[in-house]
Amino acid sequence: MRTLSTPPGPKGHLLGDNLREYARDPLGFLSGCAREYGDVVGLRFMSQNLYLLSDPGLIEYVLVENNRNFVKTRILKRNRRLLGDGLLTSEGEFWRRQRRLAQPAFHRKRVAAYGEVMVAFAERSLEAWRDGQTIDVHEEMMHLTLEIVAKCLFDADVGSRATDVGKAMKVALKDFSSQRRLVRIPRGVPTPRNIRFELAARRLDDIVRTIIEDRRKSREDRGDLLSMLMLAEDEGGGRMTDKQLRDEVMTLFLAGHETTANALSWTFWLLSQTPHAETRLAEELERVLGGRTPTVSDLPDLPYLGRVVKESMRLYPPAWVVGREAIAECEVGGYRMPAGTTALMSQWVMHRDPRYHDNPELFDPDRWTAEYAKALPRFSYFPFGGGPRQCIGAGFAMTEARLILATLAQRFRMDLAPGQRVEPYASITLRPKEGIRMRLVERSQRG
């Protein structure tokens, strides 16, 4: 190999190197590094070397072209207590088999069939909404998307446990970001934080166990993802163990609702801040649907709706960074990347890069013309990641987000509640730190 240098980067502190600055403000820190040092930035968090990659071609190299030389990062794997060896965290042949097993549940036709469930649950939320009422839109969306994923994939009704799941998720995500500390206390030590986390994890375990046990009791093949996973056999005729089943269900349960809830919450907030976009959306919905229930087949006739969701995920990508660890030494952007180095690729950084988007901070759904999307380099916009580990639920999420938005925005406009500060909280996902309190304004009833 040629002699290659290490990439430039910010000087670190003696203790923890760059971790302290990163932990204080992950979004600002990474954006600042990319602007100041370029497309490959060398960072060090304690004993871990990281390269922040901010060039679409380099991101494609890691996620697609050379994906076999990379695995998921240790930091994600440290969260085994919750996700176990599910689709998000497993590797190699085991992952490939599980992905093949789950794939049919995400087929386009299958997702289209889920459309009815998505709209039915959205309409059920509407029943409780009143003109002038203030809601926490993030809490509402978490509840709604959780019910939808549980019903579509596992034919389970979790409505009564949704608040429990919401609370547990909050604790788990806080726990994840606390791992950015210089001193990490092992899980086994009974600190208040560890106890809170363990209790939250047990609540989630309990819900997932109930879903699986209920299906076992009924012994029915309902043709949904849960039945597919339970009935699948490997070459030797063996079934998935209880632990494997638990890990897959938990992963889909968690990965399948919080991200979409975040996307919708950010979207409602951005619309409340951009009256002309809000009006355009309401007009499109009125013209195409005229008050009737939306269906999947309406979506191609609602182009502005699609652009709103795309633009919202550009500015507030629910998955704001992905990481991969190099198995063997390789070359990235002219620099030597030793084995064990983590490549960080941030949607937050890329989606706001002025090289790819004019006025990058502006919420402008109109920018998403077909030509605009076509002219963008592939990994300048990647809300669902890319390559073999691309989000399995991308089609599900896009269908769901648009149908929910169409159903709710047709009936109500949302105004930000007075005094509400909206701030992103970057844990595994990007969620509104203190929720988003919004006042509902019912659209005038048509004659």
Which residues make up the interface to ligand HEM (CB under 6 A)? 87-88, 99, 149, 251-252, 255-256, 259-260, 263, 318-319, 322, 383-385, 389, 391-393, 396-397
| Residue closer to ligand HEM (CB basis): 88 or 440 | 88
Is 166 or 385 the residue whose CB approaches ligand HEM more closely?
Answer: 385
CA 400 remoteness from chain centre? 13
> Nearest-CB residue to ligand HEM?
393
CB of 319 to ligand HEM, least distance (A): 4
Whose Cβ is closer to ligand HEM: residue 77's or residue 187's? 77
* Rounded least distance, CB 89 to ligand HEM, Å: 8
Taking the least distance from each CB to ligand HEM, the nearer of 149 and 302 is 149
For the CB of residue 2, give the shortest distance to ligand HEM in the complex, in Å.
29
Nearest to 422 by CA among 266, 261, 314: 266
Q: Pick between residue 16 and residue 115 the one whose CB is nearest to ligand HEM.
A: 115
Cα 58–chain centre separation: 22
- Rank residues 246 and 439 by Cβ distance to ligand HEM and give the closer one: 246
Half-sphere exposure of 414 (CA within 13 A, CB side): 26
Closest distance to ligand HEM from the beta carbon of 1 (Å): 27
Instruction: Give least dist CB 13 to ligand HEM, A.
Output: 28
Shortest Cβ 247–ligand HEM spacing (Å): 11
Q: How far is the CB of 360 from ligand HEM (least distance, A)?
A: 19
Question: According to the 3-state scheme, what is the secondary structure of the chain?
Answer: CCCCCCCCCCCCECCCECHHHHHHCHHHHHHHHHHHHCCEEEEEECCEEEEEECCHHHHHHHHHHCHHHEEECHHHHCCHHHHCCCCCCCCHHHHHHHHHHHHHHHCHHHHHHHHHHHHHHHHHHHHCCCCCCEEEHHHHHHHHHHHHHHHHHHCCCCHHHHHHHHHHHHHHHHHHHHCCCCCCCCCCCCCHHHHHHHHHHHHHHHHHHHHHHHHHHHCCCCCCHHHHHHHCECCCCCECCHHHHHHHHHHHHHHCCHHHHHHHHHHHHHHHHCHHHHHHHHHHHHHHHCCCCCCHHHHHHCHHHHHHHHHHHHHCCCCCCEEEEECCCEEECCEEECCCCEEEECHHHHHCCCCCCCCCCCCCHHHCCHHHHHHCCHHHCCCCCCHHHCCCCHHHHHHHHHHHHHHHHHHEEEEECCCCCCCEEECCCEEECCCCEEEEEECCCCC
Nearer to ligand HEM, 103 or 210 (CB): 103
CB of 350 to ligand HEM, least distance (A): 12
Shortest reach from residue 392's CB to ligand HEM, in Å: 5
Min dist CB 348 to ligand HEM, Å, is 12
324/439 with CB nearer ligand HEM: 324
Which is closer to ligand HEM, CB of 259 or CB of 341? 259
Name which of 302 and 392 has its Cβ closer to ligand HEM.
Answer: 392
Beta carbons of 342 and 50 less than 8 angstroms apart: yes
